[in-house]
Structure 1
């Protein structure tokens, strides 16, 4: 028969034990708050103020009106006035801008003569959800941008005829296939989940089983232990990456444009950094449960703030700052830049530098923590 007294005693004991495990207690309280803040404030499917580059070969009043209309639309933030098409292409390839606007030199003359005037808007459509709202807003640009300029004789044109045409060129993903953006991004998420968790859980398991004491009794130095522990997982990460790439090409038709040097270097840095992070977590966690909780606390922001599921530029500045500190963000830029754009080492250099810093910092902290454990 169920005894309320004994049940209550066990219940009180569990609550006391829970409060003693500070890490688990903190996870229970902090994790829902973090999820609420991220989903409530940081996630936005309709990004605004997207960085835009302009190549204005016509400097007349009509051109200035168009640029003003783009800025006031709320979707475009003109940050670069390019001097050549090559500079525009480089900015798009590096991911510095989301849009590139080209106003040809004969634009004003064609508008005045009533000829077929055009402007070109090139969009980095590697992430279709990041550009769809802005591209849709461009449909209203011809009717509104020059409304105040075309007065008097200039306003005499056929009813319904727009003064100019906006030609939109979706680069890197012209058909707006979502899988082209999501599937390469899965590479970073899957590697984070498996490598960080496998390493942290493996080390914590050794500590729980008592085999860590035997390792600590050996003359092996922290760097030697770390290298020996992580080397097999590097091979695991490379195999996982190869499998994902093959399936991405065969099942989803993801284009492979090249940039393999940048991709290979970024992949190596990310694998080593993820394993070092797992090693660092294992030096802090006392149990496998704590190791899993800490790993999940890293994986969740990596999914939400890296640009994997939601447009990175749609997040507020504070969320973008947090996302920039996450290595998955930079790895996704390398992967998508290499596969979809064919970006080389020069274009991927900023992200590769961030990944290198991450590897050095996390590896150093992991060795220092392990040395403390040895002492």
Structure 2
């Protein structure tokens, strides 16, 4: 029978030993204490399930009292924020397809004259419905907003009947099917999670198994080691992307409106960027546990701030700037644009350039860190 005093001494000794070891492992301690607090503050202020101040473009064929009243009413709401003005129909289409704006308000020529004559003119509001949550609340409040504005200038009677029609056009996902938004997002999030963890364990595994010394004795450069470790996972990532996309098309009816070649290029770029980030973590971590912790520290902001779970346009500006530094943010725009909007290289060139820059920065840091590891 175990004596209670001896049992207590041995348990307390093990507790002290674990606290001492935890204090020495500063990365793990910081992960457990500081990171949750930082994430609570960051995500608590950044995430908004009711997005407001959504980027909107206007394409007006005339400038008069009625059009100014309509635009002023929209501008004074918490939903629409006019950021662009289209000069022609092609430019307006490019703004919506390229993701520069979520809404396009088009006021046709002769709108005021038709209104005065009682001809029931139409006001067109086109919405990028690839994210149904971001567009739903704004479109729901649209009729009342415009009606109130026109009532003030006596184009609406006391009963609130409007002498014109608001035509809402939900583009790219008219039925508001959530799978068309979620499945392309899952493609990016699954690739992010697996690619990060795969490579984050690569160097730390070599260190723990004692095989890194064998690599150091070989006539091989750090860049060659990194490429040799990354390339197999690139192939694994491509296979994952094919399986996920195929399942999305077959099981959930996700359309492929754009170029498969362009989709393949941006997916390959995205996979490589995440592998480079994971490889950097593997050079920073002292063991595999730390490598996994770093991966999840990076993975969580990608999920919450990229526009996958919550509307990107609903976040404050400072949070959007942080999101722009995450590879998943740009990949989600591109994959949704290619699959649902038939976006071209011209529509996505800015996101492609930023993703390529993030990849080069991550690879540069990874190589520099690995050189320090060798030393």
TM range (shorter): over 0.9
Which residues of 2 match residues 221-232 of structure 1 at below 5 A?
Answer: 221-232=221-232
Q: What are the within-5 Å matches in structure 2 for residues 42-191 of structure 1?
A: 42-150=46-154, 159=159, 161-191=161-191
- Name the residue aligned to 1:255: 255
TM-score (norm 1): 0.96
User: In the TM superposition, what is the alpha-carbon distance from 1:213 to its structure 2 partner?
Assistant: 1.2
1:271 match: 271
CA distance in 1, matches of 2:159, 2:289: 70
Deviation at 1:160?
Answer: 5.2
Query: Where do residues 300-315 of structure 1 align in structure 2 (5 Å cutoff)?
Result: 300-315=300-315
**How far 1:139 moved relative to its partner?**
2.4
Deviations 1:239-297 (A, max 9, x none): 00000000000111111101333322211111111111111111111100000000010
Q: Extract structure 1 runs of 4+ deviating beyond 4 A.
A: 157-160
Counterpart-to-counterpart distance in 1, 2:146 and 2:275: 53
Tell me the C-alpha RMSD between the 2 structures: 1.4
Match of residue 238 from structure 1: 238
3-state secondary structure, aligned to 1:97: coil
Using the TM superposition, name which of 258-267 and 60-69 deviates more.
Answer: 258-267
How many pairs were matched up? 371
Structure 2 SS opposite 1:294: helix
In structure 2, what is the Cα distance between the partners aligned to 1:272 and 1:221? 19
Query: Is 1:332–2:336 an aligned residue pair?
Result: no
Mind listing any 5+ residue stretches in structure 2 that lack a counterpart?
A: none
- Identify the residue that residue 372 of structure 1 maps to in structure 2: 372
| Structure 2 match to 1:287 | 287
Task: Give yes or no for contact 2:95–2:101 (8 Å, CA) kept in 1.
Answer: yes
1:55 aligned counterpart, secondary structure = strand
CA–CA distance in structure 2, aligned partners of residues 318 and 30 of structure 1 = 21
Change (3 A) 1:166 1:31: same
TM-score using structure 2 length: 0.96
Q: Distance in 2 between matches of 1:159 and 1:205?
A: 73
Give distance in 1, aligned partners of 2:194 and 2:294: 13
TM-fit CA distance, 1:231: 1.0
Following TM superposition, by how much is the alpha carbon of 1:84 offset from its aligned partner in structure 2, in angstroms? 0.7
